[in-house]
Amino acid sequence: MISTDIIKKILKNYESDNFSTLKNLNKIFMTGKLSGTGKLIILPVDQGFEHGPDRSFAINAEAYDPHYHFKLAIDAGMSAFAAPLGMLETGFDTYKNKVPLILKCNSSNSLTKLADQSMTGSVKEAVRLNCSAIGFTIYPGSEKIHEMIEEAKELFEEAKSAGLVCVLWSYPRGSMSKQGETAINVVSYAAHMAALCGAHIIKVKLPSNYLEPDSTKDSYINNNIEIDELWKRVEHIVKCCFNGRRVVVFSGGEAKNDEELINEIKAINKGGGFGSIIGRNSFQRPKQKAIQLISDITNIYKGK
Amino acid sequence: MISTDIIKKILKNYESDNFSTLKNLNKIFMTGKLSGTGKLIILPVDQGFEHGPDRSFAINAEAYDPHYHFKLAIDAGMSAFAAPLGMLETGFDTYKNKVPLILKCNSSNSLTKLADQSMTGSVKEAVRLNCSAIGFTIYPGSEKIHEMIEEAKELFEEAKSAGLVCVLWSYPRGSMSKQGETAINVVSYAAHMAALCGAHIIKVKLPSNYLEPDSTKDSYINNNIEIDELWKRVEHIVKCCFNGRRVVVFSGGEAKNDEELINEIKAINKGGGFGSIIGRNSFQRPKQKAIQLISDITNIYKGK
Amino acid sequence: MISTDIIKKILKNYESDNFSTLKNLNKIFMTGKLSGTGKLIILPVDQGFEHGPDRSFAINAEAYDPHYHFKLAIDAGMSAFAAPLGMLETGFDTYKNKVPLILKCNSSNSLTKLADQSMTGSVKEAVRLNCSAIGFTIYPGSEKIHEMIEEAKELFEEAKSAGLVCVLWSYPRGSMSKQGETAINVVSYAAHMAALCGAHIIKVKLPSNYLEPDSTKDSYINNNIEIDELWKRVEHIVKCCFNGRRVVVFSGGEAKNDEELINEIKAINKGGGFGSIIGRNSFQRPKQKAIQLISDITNIYKGK
Amino acid sequence: MISTDIIKKILKNYESDNFSTLKNLNKIFMTGKLSGTGKLIILPVDQGFEHGPDRSFAINAEAYDPHYHFKLAIDAGMSAFAAPLGMLETGFDTYKNKVPLILKCNSSNSLTKLADQSMTGSVKEAVRLNCSAIGFTIYPGSEKIHEMIEEAKELFEEAKSAGLVCVLWSYPRGSMSKQGETAINVVSYAAHMAALCGAHIIKVKLPSNYLEPDSTKDSYINNNIEIDELWKRVEHIVKCCFNGRRVVVFSGGEAKNDEELINEIKAINKGGGFGSIIGRNSFQRPKQKAIQLISDITNIYKGK
Amino acid sequence: MISTDIIKKILKNYESDNFSTLKNLNKIFMTGKLSGTGKLIILPVDQGFEHGPDRSFAINAEAYDPHYHFKLAIDAGMSAFAAPLGMLETGFDTYKNKVPLILKCNSSNSLTKLADQSMTGSVKEAVRLNCSAIGFTIYPGSEKIHEMIEEAKELFEEAKSAGLVCVLWSYPRGSMSKQGETAINVVSYAAHMAALCGAHIIKVKLPSNYLEPDSTKDSYINNNIEIDELWKRVEHIVKCCFNGRRVVVFSGGEAKNDEELINEIKAINKGGGFGSIIGRNSFQRPKQKAIQLISDITNIYKGK
């Protein structure tokens, strides 16, 4: 198993995992331009499920073709490609072993208002599709949170046994204000819950400096937790993910201008975050521009 | 496995499927008058479940007999015959290997107002009945959508493992207006969801040029997606089915006059659609007239 | 397997069933006074569950004893005896192989208003009790119809695999008027649904000439379906059961005077129905009178 | 298998049961002071679950210790001891084979108002604890009745296969008046349902002469069912339990004075009931007084 | 198996358990400073799940690191360490066999108001992580109590079969007043229910002398149960746990001053309680102070 000292140190934190899982985690860390650095950039493409194909792909029509995304992930040197079942099936043979795959096992859709997701994947299918990991989303704060966590539990237990890496998207919604969904005290809670659920890789949104007025707010004020600067908030999230013993990556959410995005990456890097999940900011622009942007981002993560 | 270059090219898009599934898909494409052309006409007969026997068959009383439909599918040279369990059981021996069978595994009924369906079939029964495929319906936008998708997931996973083709009827209803159920922005979303769920063959209704005012509408306007002509809409649906990597066929819905129907077929053909599912327009007229109509339709698909 | 030409012809309609199931169906058709005629009289005794023991048996107190019913079915020469688990258990040894048994696997009770039934039997228990068939009830039109159909699906799939005959009681209720529960357009729909669910024997109530004003009503008027005479309605139900390819039997419901009952039997016979399920009209009168009545009925079915 | 003619005659009614079940039923009938008489006295101790420990045991503080109840059942010569999992676990070794055990598999609690019970035992645990029987409670008339019956079905099916006796507590509640819960027409219905569910031993409350005004009331009046005297009501319940083919025992409910209790036992005996379940009337008094009371009761049942 | 007479006597109460379970229970009793005394101090760290990471750990920031808690349990000489899946996974290798582990299998979270918990662990995972026990929480009085008890039943049955100790947190809430959640009549009921559910170790909150006005209140007054002094209340809880045949430990709840805490420990010891679960009072202070406090507590339990 080819690795680097940085990666070996990260893997050591996963004390209970079997060799296959560690090998798959190593593979993700040793793929692409960030290979061996301990940082990750993951391409997720489930927006077609969550927002519909046109809102996702019309702006860059090549992206209607699933192969476009496989190629983008490979050509831009990303660490892994995450997508729902049907999309991964299309490139099974053409892109075999060219980029680690994450089977996104549940998805929501905007045709319904229900704060829930549908299971569309499984460990059995992830194994069939030669994936390195499975992905799952929970909504802390929603009415379905207990069921979602229990689905994650079943999935992760089976995945670990099958030697797969478990990636958990933890997106608060429901019980808090809209602004509160990215409040630092809410995101840190969601990240910690994901760690306790046994995720190997945690994915949260970048937190704002807003504090949702709930039972956890006072602990920020009383203990002087620094949240004014973004990199401090990233650092805090890393701390809430078992003090850095679990890998946490960040999404920026909606497409924004490149300067904002680059500044976010710098803050993630400075705060000790493990990398980014970049979807719309990569596939909603022409391929060469996307490759350039990813290149700029990897340079930041590589400290160039 | 006898095939044609056109079909081989289509099968190549199913990169992850096992040989049995590909053989069954090939069989459907190599059956009937459209054999080898890459186009399909499928006869579905679950209207007795969904609308009652009399609304379905009284106008052409021979159609009360299930064997009538087997014979119609065979004599008209259709690609496959889809029906619920009980109906397929009646012709198991008489029509063995004479037409590919699709076991329709769930059905609604109009004695209840619930926007849901009952499971009546299974992969085990499809195998027992020597079927080539299983069929399933989901209602994107309904309150039951998550459960329906998860039922489809279980069924498809087992079906693929058993070497069967998976056909998904994707019919929006519930959260949108009645008109919106066939709006181009709604149908395209429903078709894409079906592809992501791992369907081999997707079935949607022909979309209208109406745009349901939801979160996806703007992407049509901003990106100048052409939706005025029917063939352009068909072309767009094909694009939303993984840019043509998944087979999508269209239903016309309620019986209409032949001229309208023929014009629809021409638009499907021109737009690159893979064919039609024709139920009421075939079995609700005398058999010879139905055969003639199907013959006219196949001629269009064959470019005659 | 001893049979007659009439029965062999009926069995031929069950093209997909295994030899054990056909043997059990043959056994039911070859038992009792109607042996070999293609007609059936079945004794069902689940009224104790559905209406309580006293409303069922007080009028003929011998009927409190389950053995009374075994003996009645045997002595009157009926085709089969259907009852819930506990009742069949009492006669397992005494009446072994003396009359085909149908394990009624679900029952309602009038202590609750819920339009649902409780599962009390299973295929495993039916096999243990040496039964030839299992019975199940669905309520088309009720809020539980999807769950009930899915329970039937599971039960029937297992039963067919175990070589048992599947009998489906299809009793509309819930979405229609009280009068509509026996309307010809509702009963025909319920009978057809039962056939599509894969029942070998379908049981419905005798339909009235009333037309429930629902989406199916117009097809009766537009297509001149004859419903004035009872035998015509029976004929129509037979047609809706796959044009006679599935056995359909009728219940008369509440006890009535013998003349009415005899006229109903004549209509069933004339309309091509396959026989009767007679519960309260047999066990709620003294045994000799019941035997006489069943004798009169069998004579009608035998064309005497 | 040591037995008596009376017991052999009772066992003959259980025609479908395997030898292990019959052996266990025989063991219960051959234990204690009523050994071989065909009568039973069972000690049930789940009041701690249903009413809390203090309301159950404070009046006789020795009863907080589970071993007290094992010893009471043995020393008083009772036929069996019924209790939830945790209580039976405590005496597994000390009292092995000294008294037949009935694992009470579900219990309610008065901290909640829900008319339902929690499953706390299983056949697997009953086998592990060397029990002779499992016990279960249903609430005919409650909103949960269908689920409860289906839980009983699963449990009984497994229990019979494992050679255990099935005891069903059938306690009406929910749809009827408070007074109606012990009305003779309600209790007889509940007892009959228990028999149909396949119970070997049925437990109901002693019925009053009240008639709940429901659909079964008229059958009492029209058929002159005698319900004025308690022993006549007991006789009627026995008739509703398959005319005596199933064992039915009675509970008196809340503690009452001894004279009332003795009169009830006399009525049960005269009416042909199979015995009593006596909980609070035994363990809520000093042990010697309890033993004396049980002795008085057994003398009645033995006809002394 | 190294043990002491005190522990052997305790183990004898677990008459039905297999050798592996007894060995694990012995291991917990033979670990740490209270080794062999028959008393326990357990460190539970699921507050991060229940209250969020910051409210739990910000006051003593080292505690964000899961290894801190393993070390604290070991260095302070505690009997066992209880935590959710993800936290136990982090120390699997580093702290192997250094302290008995309890996998806390369900957790609530304060982002939702639902009075329920999510399953996050399993027996399979507990075995994989080399745990000695599994832990579970029920909420007597909540709307979910029946489901929670049934989840506990499934878990415990599997755990006992796998040789694990079963720890049940029994925390009333829902149907009673806020004050009633720690009322002596409510806590005693909750403790007894836990014992009946088959728990090996029961965990309740220290009860107050308040009596919730429910159906159990009168039994305290009528039977002169002494509840004025805390040690008397502890003694009563021990009595309600099968008269001391089951181990019951107490939590103090929110952090309080050390004097109050020490007085509580003295009362637990005097009343015959088996020890304490101490979470926030240990990890929310500097490590050396925590070790000192635990040392003071163990001295009380050792009678020094």
pLDDT of residue A255: 59
pLDDT of residue E116: 86
pLDDT of residue A254: 64
State yes or no: is D8 an active-site residue. no
pLDDT of residue D114: 81
C255: pLDDT strictly greater than 80: no
The CA angle B143-B147-B151, to the nearest 5 degrees, is 145
C254: pLDDT strictly greater than 70: no
Q: Please tell me the distance from the alpha carbon of residue D265 to that of residue A193, in angstroms, as a whole number.
A: 60
Helices and strands (H, E) in chain A, number of each type: 14, 10
E254: pLDDT strictly greater than 70: no
DSSP string, D121-171: --HHHHHHTT-SEEEEEE-TTSTTHHHHHHHHHHHHHHHHHTT-EEEEEE-
Contact C66 D174 (CB under 8 A): no
Q: Indicate the DSSP class of residue A274.
A: -
Tokens of A154: 């079943």
| Greatest extent of chain D over all pairs of C-alpha atoms, in Å | 56
Contact A95, A74 (CB under 8 A): yes
Residue D304: Cβ within 10 Å count: 7
Residue B27: Cβ within 10 Å count: 20
Which chains are within 8 Å of E by 3+ CB pairs? A, D
The string over E212-239, giving b where at least 16 C-beta atoms fall within 10 Å of a residue's C-beta and e elsewhere, is bebebbebbeeeebebeebbbbbbbbbb
Which whole number is the average pLDDT over D273-286?
Answer: 96
pLDDT of residue A113: 83
On chain B, the residues whose CB falls within 8 A of the CB of A90 are: 13, 15, 242, 245-246
In the three-class reduction of DSSP (H, G, I as helix; E, B as strand; rest coil), residue B203 is classed as strand
Which whole number is the average pLDDT over E125-154?
Answer: 97
Tokens of C245: 């390819």
Report CA dihedral (A125, A126, A131, A135) to the nearest 10 degrees.
Answer: 140
The minimum CA-CA distance between E257 and chain D, rounded to whole Å, is 32
Contact B136, B167 (CB under 8 A): yes
In the three-class reduction of DSSP (H, G, I as helix; E, B as strand; rest coil), residue D282 is classed as helix
On chain A, the residues whose CB falls within 8 A of the CB of B187 are: none
CB nearest B16 (choices: A84, A121, A129): A129
pLDDT in tens, C105-156: 999 999 988 878 999 999 999 999 999 999 999 999 999 999 999 999 999 9
* Candidate from C120-134, C248-262, E185-199 with smallest mean pLDDT: C248-262
D233: pLDDT strictly greater than 80: yes
pLDDT of residue D44: 97
In the three-class reduction of DSSP (H, G, I as helix; E, B as strand; rest coil), residue A242 is classed as helix
Contact D188 C54 (CB under 8 A): yes
pLDDT of residue B115: 79
On chain C, the residues whose CB falls within 8 A of the CB of D192 are: 48-49, 52-53
pLDDT of residue E256: 73
Residues in B lying within 8 Å of C, measured between beta carbons: 46, 48-49, 51-55, 58-59, 61, 64-67, 84-94, 107, 109-114, 116-122, 124-125, 128-129
Q: Indicate the DSSP class of residue A62.
A: G
| Residues 6 or more apart whose Cβ sits within 8 Å of residue C165 | C21, C24, C25, C28, C102, C132, C133, C134, C159, C200, C201
Which chains are within 8 Å of B by 3+ CB pairs? A, C
A162: pLDDT strictly greater than 90: yes
CB nearest D112 (choices: E16, E145, E218): E145
pLDDT of residue E114: 81
Choose the catalytic residue: B39, B71, B203, B205: B203
Q: Please tell me the distance from the alpha carbon of residue A136 to that of residue A140, in angstroms, as a whole number.
A: 13
As to burial, measured by CB atoms within 10 angstroms (0-12 exposed, 13-18 middle, 19+ buried), residue C209 is middle
Contact A245 E66 (CB under 8 A): yes
Contact D153 C119 (CB under 8 A): yes
On chain A, the residues whose CB falls within 8 A of the CB of E64 are: 239-240, 242-243
Q: How does the average pLDDT of chain A come out, rounded?
A: 96
Question: Which one has a higher pLDDT value, A190 or C257?
Answer: A190
Element (H or E) spanning A48, and its range?
helix A47-51
| Residues 6 or more apart whose Cβ sits within 8 Å of residue B1 | B23, B26
Which residue of chain B has the CA closest to A118? Answer: B146
On chain E, the residues whose CB falls within 8 A of the CB of D112 are: 140-143, 145-146, 174-175
Q: How does the average pLDDT of chain C come out, rounded?
A: 96
Contact A28, A80 (CB under 8 A): yes
On chain C, the residues whose CB falls within 8 A of the CB of B69 are: none
Side chain identity, residue B161: S
| Phi, psi at D219, each rounded to 5° | -65, -25
Contact D47, D56 (CB under 8 A): yes
Sequence length of chain D is 304
Choose the catalytic residue: E203, E217, E239, E256: E203
| E-assigned strand segments in D84-126 | 101-104, 106-107, 118-119
Q: Please tell me the distance from the alpha carbon of residue B248 to that of residue D232, in angstroms, as a whole number.
A: 73
Which whole number is the average pLDDT over C290-301?
Answer: 97
Query: If we measure between CA atoms, which residue out of E54, E56, E115, E112 comes closest to residue E83?
Result: E56
Q: How does the average pLDDT of chain B come out, rounded?
A: 96
pLDDT band at A116 (very low <50, low <70, confident <90, very high): confident
Q: How does the average pLDDT of chain D come out, rounded?
A: 96
Contact D13, D29 (CB under 8 A): no
CB nearest B175 (choices: A90, A113, A116): A113
Contact C125, C94 (CB under 8 A): no
- Determine A/C contact with 3+ CB pairs under 8 A as the test: no
pLDDT in tens, B244-292: 999 999 997 665 789 999 999 999 999 999 999 999 999 999 999 999 9
A287: pLDDT strictly greater than 70: yes
Contact E122 A153 (CB under 8 A): yes
Contact B246 A86 (CB under 8 A): yes
Residues in E lying within 8 Å of A, measured between beta carbons: 46, 48-49, 51-55, 58-59, 61, 64-67, 84-94, 107, 109-114, 116-122, 124-125, 128-129
Q: Please tell me the distance from the alpha carbon of residue C20 to that of residue C146, in angstroms, as a whole number.
A: 29
Q: What is the CA radius of gyration of chain A?
A: 18
Beta-bridged to residue C136, according to DSSP, are C168
Contact D140 C109 (CB under 8 A): yes
pTM metric for this prediction = 0.97
Contact D240 C54 (CB under 8 A): yes
pLDDT of residue D255: 59
Q: Please tell me the distance from the alpha carbon of residue E20 to that of residue E165, in angstroms, as a whole number.
A: 9
| Residues 6 or more apart whose Cβ sits within 8 Å of residue A186 | A140, A141, A172, A176, A180, A207, A212, A214, A216, E111
CB nearest D15 (choices: C55, C91, C109): C91
Rounded to the nearest angstrom, the gap between the alpha carbon of residue A33 and the centroid of all alpha carbons in its chain is 18
pLDDT of residue E253: 60
Which chains are within 8 Å of C by 3+ CB pairs? B, D
Report CA dihedral (E56, E59, E64, E66) to the nearest 10 degrees.
Answer: -70
pLDDT of residue B114: 81
Q: Please tell me the distance from the alpha carbon of residue D302 to that of residue D296, in angstroms, as a whole number.
A: 10
Which residue of chain D has the CA closest to E217? Answer: D55
Which whole number is the average pLDDT over A111-137?
Answer: 95
C253: pLDDT strictly greater than 70: no
C181: pLDDT strictly greater than 90: yes
Which whole number is the average pLDDT over C30-55?
Answer: 97
What percent of chain D has pLDDT above 90? Answer: 96
Number of C-alpha atoms within 13 angstroms, CB side, residue E47? Answer: 26
The CA angle D71-D73-D76, to the nearest 5 degrees, is 95
pLDDT of residue B253: 60
Tokens of A27: 């593979």
On chain D, the residues whose CB falls within 8 A of the CB of E185 are: 52, 54
pLDDT in tens, B207-255: 999 999 999 999 999 999 999 999 999 999 999 999 999 999 999 766 5
D254: pLDDT strictly greater than 70: no
Kindly give the interhelix angle for C287-301 and C258-270, rounded to the nearest 10 degrees.
Answer: 30
Rounded to the nearest angstrom, the gap between the alpha carbon of residue B210 and the centroid of all alpha carbons in its chain is 22
Contact B223 A118 (CB under 8 A): no
pLDDT of residue D256: 73
pLDDT in tens, B33-89: 999 999 999 999 999 999 999 999 999 999 999 999 999 999 999 999 999 999 999
Which whole number is the average pLDDT over E144-168?
Answer: 97
Beta-bridged to residue A202, according to DSSP, are A168, A248
Which whole number is the average pLDDT over C64-68?
Answer: 98
E202: pLDDT strictly greater than 80: yes
| Residues 6 or more apart whose Cβ sits within 8 Å of residue C239 | B53, B61, B64
Which whole number is the average pLDDT over E129-144?
Answer: 97
DSSP string, chain C: ----HHHHHHHHT-TT--HHHHHHHHHHHTSSTTTTTT-EEEEE--HHHHH-HHHHHGGGGGGGSHHHHHHHHHHTT-SEEEE-HHHHHHTTTTTTTTS-EEEE-EE--TTS--S--EE---HHHHHHTT-SEEEEEE-TTSTTHHHHHHHHHHHHHHHHHTT-EEEEEE---SSS-TGGGGBHHHHHHHHHHHHHTT-SEEEEEPPBS---SSTTHHHHHHTT---SSHHHHHHHHHHHTGGGTSEEEEE--S---HHHHHHHHHHHHHTT--EEE-SHHHHTS-HHHHHHHHHHHHHHHTT-
Return contacts of D120-124, CB within 8 angstroms, 24+ apart: D120/D49, D120/D84, D120/D85, D120/E149, D120/E150, D120/E153, D120/E196, D120/E197, D120/E198, D121/D84, D121/D85, D121/E153, D122/D155, D122/E153, D122/E157, D123/D155, D123/D158, D123/D159, D123/D162, D123/D164, D124/E157
Helices (H), ranges, chain D: 5-12, 19-29, 47-51, 53-57, 66-75, 85-90, 123-128, 145-161, 184-196, 217-222, 230-240, 258-270, 280-283, 287-301
The minimum CA-CA distance between C188 and chain B, rounded to whole Å, is 7
